[in-house]
Amino acid sequence: DQILESHEIPNELKYLAVIESALNGNARSHAGAVGYWQFMAPTARDMGLVVNRSRDDRKDLHKSTQGAAKYLTYLYGQLDDWLLVVAAYNSGPRPVLNAIKRTGKSDFWTIKPYLPRETQNHVLAFIATATIMERLNEYIEPGLPTNFDWASLNDKAQQFQKSDMPENPLLKRFGKEELQKMADRK
């Protein structure tokens, strides 16, 4: 919170790390993004983080949040809208700028159809997560304990071995051919 505040970034943007990594510093995407904020190595280095064989600042919550704050500020300087920043954080600024150019508008809801589907869903997931987290105490009485251990959620998730689960959970119930037929009907 303090790092984002010092960069004049809305506090709700901290939930971007929840969407990106589930607050798991060791998270790694299929594309190679790493850490709490899911930085690719070149972007991390551009934001002042060290990424080499012996050190990876993307896995350090404090350092990677500093880098994320710099990147979010950079994106806001280009886009001047926080939802567009969330979109650009996911896809990179080029698809967002192209959608703005195509529509002549610079708000997420207008350009949404012109963004990659993953980016559209990413922004919607961010909105939902931020809304739920900001209003959580309204729904849970008396609210989460102040000492709630968020890190334990990651520890529990790692207890499940990938080998214990099929590659696709639907394969427990349907065969690959049945799933393909269902997908083709869309």
pLDDT tens over the chain, length 186 residues: 999 999 999 999 999 999 999 999 999 999 999 999 999 999 999 999 999 999 999 999 999 999 999 999 999 999 999 999 999 999 999 999 999 999 999 999 999 999 999 999 999 999 999 988 888 777 666 666 677 666 666 554 555 444 454 455 545 555 566 656 665 654
Q: What Cα–Cα distance (Å) separates residue 156 from each residue in 2, 24, 169?
A: 28, 12, 19
For the chain, the straight-line distance linking the first and the last C-alpha, in angstroms and rounded, comes to 43
Residue 32 near residue 7 (C-beta atoms within 8 A): no
Would you state the pLDDT for residue 186? 45
Side-chain-side CA neighbours of residue 9 (13 Å): 28
Would you state the pLDDT for residue 161? 46
Catalytic site positions: 20
Distance CA 174, CA 56 (A): 41
pTM comes to 0.73
Nearest CA-CA partner of 123 in 172, 161, 77, 90 = 90
Dihedrals φ, ψ of 37, to 5°?
-105, 5
The residues, ordered by sequence, that sit 6+ positions from 129 with a Cβ below 8 Å of its Cβ are 15, 18, 19
Q: Which amino acid is at 86?
A: V
Distance CA 132, CA 130 (A): 6
Residue 126 near residue 15 (C-beta atoms within 8 A): yes
Would you state the pLDDT for residue 136? 74
